[in-house]
């Protein structure tokens, strides 16, 4: 029996070296005992074997010593190995050496996806990928000191090094550390540094920013949409101790039935007819002349009956912000609260947008916030007014008002929040998830359009996905703010 000592639990390079040596010495898997030294390796080992994985359908396990032939394995095996070896199962090294041995000695194995060793490896790799994904979704940084942020996370597997480059790219401007019981990683703005695992007591305590996040979470928690089983699938209970918002789930869930009942019992927010209350006293521009001011535009949209939705709304909701703003952010249509207030983005979606702008240090009153459709379209469900997406014909009928608004405000660039805005601004169907995050130069007036998600789309995501999507959305907004990239 040969004992092989690896430097640490995620020592993929060491495994690769030793596996090659054993294979060339014709040592069968049953004659090898894999062990991991107590000491963990330092330095980053992510991107393991990546060069081979990318290069071809088959890969050399490594350069062979003179006289020995190189070991060639399918490229997919290399990738699989990089994932399986991060699993915490103590048998992972033996499994992968056995598979490697069998790939070399049993050519038919490549065509047998139901082979028990292959199935087990696939299962371990899937668990590692899931752990990587959960870490990305559930790491919560807390500020410590001036500009450092620290998070505590408990991964199931040895994924910290493999996942660190993701956090480095995502939070490149920030100095941060992620502490875990297995391994810690720190980003100092220039390089990643790895340390041995830490104890939970080193993790920082609740901060003021987090209290704000909790208040916000409490406000967006919709008792009528509570689905505990689905929530637990997306956000398994074992992550809850490290998620500040999880402490709110039990009390909010306990009160959900009563709150839903109250919502159903509550009287509907009464829509008021704008024509009756004469909110706007400015006369619309004479027929045939475009509005010459934003007040004229507001009066004209209020009087508009080019589609049926205006008749049911309280009032038209035009944009808000300084004329001459460099960025016009365009949403879909006012919601219930906007309809009553006569201002865009004041309801839950607006609060999320406000939070994002605040996090980016981008004052809301520097941008012009508008909507593609100017009236609230809804459906009465009992006494409640439920948002309905405007149809294409309604959006088309309304598009003239946004065009006038753009003419009056003269923004340098346009930011489409969601598909309705993107379709109105670009005159074509837009798949937001595919086309988001870049400038599109398609408008006749030459204004570049940046497409990203609508905040309501983020609010509708399951809890486990919202945080990561919110991060990507912040990246989008940050990118479109720096309009010199246009
Ligand atoms: N959603 C929008 O698209 N616009 C608003 O003003 C509010 C919610």
Q: Does any ligand 1 atom lie closer than 6 A to the CB of residue 319?
A: no
CA distance 70 to 143: 50
CB of 371 sitting under 6 A from ligand 1: yes
- Could you give the CA distance from residue 185 to residue 194 in angstroms, rounded to a whole number? 5
Tokens of 469: 């999507």
**pLDDT attached to residue 138:** 87
Per-residue pLDDT reduced to its tens digit, 438-467: 999 999 999 999 999 999 999 988 877 888
- Identify which of 376, 356, 364, 371 has the alpha carbon closest to the alpha carbon of residue 401: 371
Q: Are 430 and 422 in contact (CB under 8 A)?
A: yes
Distance 332 CA to ligand 1 centre (A): 6
CB 150 within 8 A of CB 144: yes
CA of 378 to the centre of ligand 1 (A): 13
Closest CA to 235 of 455, 466, 460: 466
Residue pLDDT, tens place only, 187-196: 998 999 999 9
**Does the 274-485 domain belong in CATH 3.40.470.10?**
yes
349 ligand 1 Cβ < 6 A: yes
Q: Coil, strand or helix: which one is 44? A: coil
* Nearest atom, ligand 1, residue 331 CA: 3
Nearest ligand 1 atom to alpha carbon 317: 6
Can you give the residue ranges of every domain in the chain?
2-133, 139-202, 217-265, 274-485
List the beta bridge partners of residue 387: 378
Cα 455 to averaged position of ligand 1 atoms, centre (Å)? 9
pLDDT at res. 24: 92
pLDDT tens for 96-132 read 999 999 999 998 998 888 899 999 999 999 999 999 9
Side-chain-side CA neighbours of 134 within 13 Å: the count stands at: 23
Residue 97 Cβ < 6 Å to ligand 1: no
Atom of ligand 1 nearest to the CA of 337: 7
Segment of 63-67, 267-271, 359-363, 371-375 carrying the highest mean pLDDT:
371-375
Question: In terms of DSSP H, where are the helices of 171-315?
Answer: 208-220, 228-234, 246-265, 274-277, 294-303
Q: Which atom of ligand 1 is nearest to the CA of 456?
A: 1
- The whole-model pTM stands at 0.51
Contacts of residue 262, Cβ cutoff 8 Å, sequence gap at least 6: none
pLDDT tens for 331-389 read: 999 999 999 999 999 999 999 999 999 888 899 999 999 999 999 999 888 778 889 99
Of 432, 454, 458, best ligand 1 pocket probe by most atoms within 8 Å of the beta carbon: 454
Which token pair is 332?
Answer: 């879909």
33's CB contacts (< 8 A; 6+ apart) are 1, 2, 3, 4
- Report the range out of 15-24, 39-48, 53-62 with the highest average pLDDT: 15-24
Q: How far apart, in whole angstroms, are the C-alpha atoms of residue 318 and residue 301?
A: 8
pLDDT of residue 165: 94
């Amino acid at each position: 029996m040969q004992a092989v000592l690896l430097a640490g639990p995620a020592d993929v390079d060491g495994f690769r070296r030793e596996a090659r040596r054993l294979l060339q010495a014709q040592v069968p898997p049953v004659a090898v005992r894999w062990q991991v030294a107590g000491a963990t390796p330092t330095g980053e080992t992510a991107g393991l074997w990546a060069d081979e994985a990318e290069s071809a359908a088959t890969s050399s396990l490594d350069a062979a010593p003179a006289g020995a032939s190189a070991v060639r394995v399918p490229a997919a095996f290399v990738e699989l190995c990089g994932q399986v070896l991060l699993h915490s199962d103590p048998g992972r090294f033996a499994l992968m050496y056995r598979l490697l041995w069998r790939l070399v000695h049993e050519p038919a194995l490549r065509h047998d996806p139901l082979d028990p060793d292959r199935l087990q490896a696939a299962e371990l790799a899937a668990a590692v990928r899931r752990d990587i994904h959960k870490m990305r979704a559930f790491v919560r940084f807390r500020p410590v000191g001036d500009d450092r942020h620290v998070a505590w996370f408990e991964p199931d597997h040895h994924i910290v090094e493999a996942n660190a480059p993701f956090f480095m790219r995502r939070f490149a401007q920030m100095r941060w550390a992620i502490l875990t019981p297995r391994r810690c990683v720190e980003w100092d703005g220039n390089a990643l540094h790895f340390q041995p695992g830490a104890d939970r007591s080193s993790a920082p305590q609740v901060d003021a920013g987090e209290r704000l996040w909790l208040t916000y979470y409490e406000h967006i928690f919709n008792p009528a949409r509570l689905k505990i089983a689905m929530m637990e699938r997306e956000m398994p209970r074992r992550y809850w101790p490290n998620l500040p918002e999880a402490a709110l789930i039990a009390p909010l869930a306990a009160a959900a039935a009563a709150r839903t009942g109250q919502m159903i019992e509550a009287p509907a927010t009464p829509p008021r007819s704008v024509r009756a209350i004469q909110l706007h006293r400015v006369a619309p521009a004479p027929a045939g002349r475009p509005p010459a001011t934003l007040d004229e535009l507001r009066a004209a949209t209020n009087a508009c009956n080019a589609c049926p939705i205006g008749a049911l709304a309280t009032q038209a909701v035009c944009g808000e912000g300084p004329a001459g703003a460099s960025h016009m952010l365009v949403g879909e249509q006012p919601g219930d609260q906007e309809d009553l207030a006569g201002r865009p983005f004041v309801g839950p979606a607006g609060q999320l947008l406000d939070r994002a702008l605040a996090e980016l240090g981008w004052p809301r009153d520097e941008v012009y916030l508008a909507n593609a459709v100017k009236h609230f379209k809804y459906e009465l469900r009992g006494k409640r007014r439920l948002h309905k997406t405007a149809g294409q014909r309604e959006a088309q009928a309304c598009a003239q008002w946004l065009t006038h608004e753009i003419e009056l405000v003269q923004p340098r660039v346009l930011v489409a929040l969601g598909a309705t805005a993107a379709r109105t601004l670009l005159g074509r169907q837009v798949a937001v998830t595919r086309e988001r995050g870049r400038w599109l130069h398609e408008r006749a007036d030459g204004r570049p359009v940046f497409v990203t998600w609508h905040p309501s789309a983020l609010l509708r995501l399951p809890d486990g996905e919202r945080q990561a999507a919110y991060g990507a959305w912040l990246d989008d907004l940050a990118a479109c703010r720096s309009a010199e990239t246009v």
